Structure 1
Amino acid sequence: MIGIGPFSIDVVIVAVSALLAWTVARMLARRLPDSPYKAAGSLLLDALLVGLIAARLGYIARWWKDYAQAPWSMISIGDGGFLWWAGLLAALLFAGWRTRSIRALRMPVFAGVFAGIVAWGAAGGVVELLRRSAPPLPDVQLAMLDGQPIALNSYAGRPVVVNLWATWCPPCRREMPVLQQAQSVFPGIAFVMVNQGEQASVIQSFLEQEGLVFNHVLRDPASDTMRVMGARGLPTTLFFDSDGRLVDTHMGELTMASLKNTITRRYAQESSPNSTNQE
């Protein structure tokens, strides 16, 4: 998995792009009479905040049916749920409105936004290339709850969502109903729940107590999957295509909206029309 310390690469890219946008706006504003660089930097940060709020609200509107069923998930911004084009439009409109009486600041602020967009797009393209060169569905030897051995790469040949979890992990426990529902909504995708380091009796007891039923529950006693895939914490969800290539990752708790969004983007055929009818 790609990341820097505890932060996912997507968060780092957004932060670096925002810093670049702020820097460019201030540098260009320094060349203006009276050098209003502080005002330019402040205005750009305000536009960024407005854009983030608009991007989140746009995403919630896009997946309203799922968020309405679990209202608390609207504030779970860790699910990565942002409609970026809506945020960009809102940021530009806000910047244009704020500079209507200070037109000298318009060029530095818009140039900063443009620089941030270019950096964000370029870095996103590089990350996508790195993901394509990531390890395939690994040949990790795991075990079913009845003790039968199974290799994780035996699921190759269809899209696979691998969830790394443990019963002691609160966010893992909270997202499991989402994953259980998803395996019914998207029957063409294998949802493989790979428990990290726990005994079969502990896993079975937990599933029965919570009333959870999964088609594929595996044990990874030595947490080999985490090591091989470079996962930095639990829960971690890995998305593999039918060729066994890693196409997306998510560290942290999933919401139904974010899970559906990733599946829609990465598994176009499997996400329709059967899934739509079962929502």
Structure 2
Amino acid sequence: MDRVLHLGPLVLPWMLLVLLGAWQLGTMVHERLAARRGLTGGPHGWRLPLVALIAARLGFVLRYADLYASASVAVLDIRDGGWSPWAGLGAALLYVALLWLRRSPWRQSATAGLATFAGVWLLGWGVLQATAPREQAALPSWQGVALDARTVALPELKGQPVVVNLWASWCPPCRREMPVMLQAREAQSPQSQVRFLWVNQGEPPETVARFAAQQRLPAADVLLDSAGQLGSALGHKALPTTLFYDRQGRLAAVRVGELSAATLAQHIALISGHSAP
């Protein structure tokens, strides 16, 4: 589950901060050991992380190749958060192995830098896992009125996977991800039965209704939250934010920021019990 640090309007995932810190420490170790051997930092200080970054992205893209095929430019849009960390680490290990095979003078310093990075990254991941709440958050005790005038109570949806999207019509990434979510809703198999809910934050009903009609969102699944109560109660004021609840009503994942078709499929597979492609 994504855990984030809120700095006013800025929202930063903790794992991203851990990753950046690990990279900085690994680079520092590499450069200092190289200097002790009378070497400059060399090109490996930037080549190694670049190779790992590209491999991590390609690993994720290949896993969801069919979803990226229809929008190839999305491969370059890393804002969707689609990464395969183990593919990146594997590429980094292969890179260092090639340095040893070629007897590169930087092989020892690069290895030490990679080991530092991996150690800090895994330690940070372990700390985040250890400090995570023991019990997963449940569907909140909140209810809203849909555009079809029906009342939807979130706790009553327990028994089926639920995707809750917090959005506003003035939010560009919210607008961009709407077609992706609507397509996923329409394309899901009968076995999945994932309920998609678009909970508008802080806008008047007429604005929400007009935007929903333009986007062809189902009226029964667009909920009004003019006071933004749900986002405040959940501690997520950044938009868009999407929360994924499993069949037991437990919060399985949170995605702060825009979703691509691939990252959405990844999270839906998590809550529906079906393996991702």
Which TM-score bucket, shorter chain as reference? 0.7 to 0.9
Tell me which residue corresponds to 1:44. Answer: 45
Tell me which residue corresponds to 1:255. Answer: 260
Tell me which residue corresponds to 1:145. Answer: 147
- The correspondence for 2:138, drawn from 136, 139, 143, is 136
Tell me which residue corresponds to 2:59. Answer: 58
Tell me which residue corresponds to 2:86. Answer: 85
Shift of 1:257: 0.7
Structure 2 runs not aligned, ≥5 long? none
How does 1:95-114 map onto structure 2 within 5 Å?
Answer: 95-98=96-99, 103-114=104-115
Tell me which residue corresponds to 2:166. Answer: 164
C-alpha distance in 1 between matches for 2:206 and 2:262: 32
C-alpha distance in 2 between matches for 1:37 and 1:250: 41
Cα contact 2:212–2:222 (8 A) shared by 1: no
| Residue identity matched to 1:51 | A
Structure 1 runs not aligned, ≥5 long? none
Tell me which residue corresponds to 1:24. Answer: 29
C-alpha distance in 2 between matches for 1:251 and 1:208: 25
- The correspondence for 1:13, drawn from 12, 18, 33, is 18
- The correspondence for 1:182, drawn from 178, 181, 184, is 184
Map Cα deviations across residues 124-168 of structure 1 (whole Å, 9 max, x no partner).
233345165464221123222244443322222322211101112
**207 and 33 in structure 1: CA distance in 2 versus 1, 3 angstrom threshold:** closer
C-alpha distance in 2 between matches for 1:50 and 1:199: 48
Tell me which residue corresponds to 2:175. Answer: 173
| Residue identity matched to 2:196 | F
C-alpha distance in 1 between matches for 2:134 and 2:46: 33
Q: Which secondary structure does the structure 1 equivalent of 2:57 belong to? A: helix
C-alpha distance in 2 between matches for 1:131 and 1:67: 34
Map Cα deviations across residues 214-263 of structure 1 (whole Å, 9 max, x no partner).
65221111111211222141111111222332221111111111111222
Shift of 1:172: 0.9
| Residue identity matched to 2:165 | N
Cα contact 2:243–2:253 (8 A) shared by 1: yes
Q: Which secondary structure does the structure 2 equivalent of 1:207 belong to? A: helix
Tell me which residue corresponds to 1:235. Answer: 240
How does 1:195-234 map onto structure 2 within 5 Å?
Answer: 195-213=200-218, 216-234=221-239
C-alpha distance in 1 between matches for 2:220 and 2:200: 14
Shift of 1:101: 5.1
| Residue identity matched to 1:33 | R
Q: Among the aligned pairs, what percent are the same residue?
A: 36
**232 and 76 in structure 1: CA distance in 2 versus 1, 3 angstrom threshold:** farther
Shift of 1:52: 0.4
Tell me which residue corresponds to 2:117. Answer: 116
| Residue identity matched to 1:267 | I
C-alpha distance in 1 between matches for 2:203 and 2:134: 31
C-alpha distance in 1 between matches for 2:79 and 2:205: 30
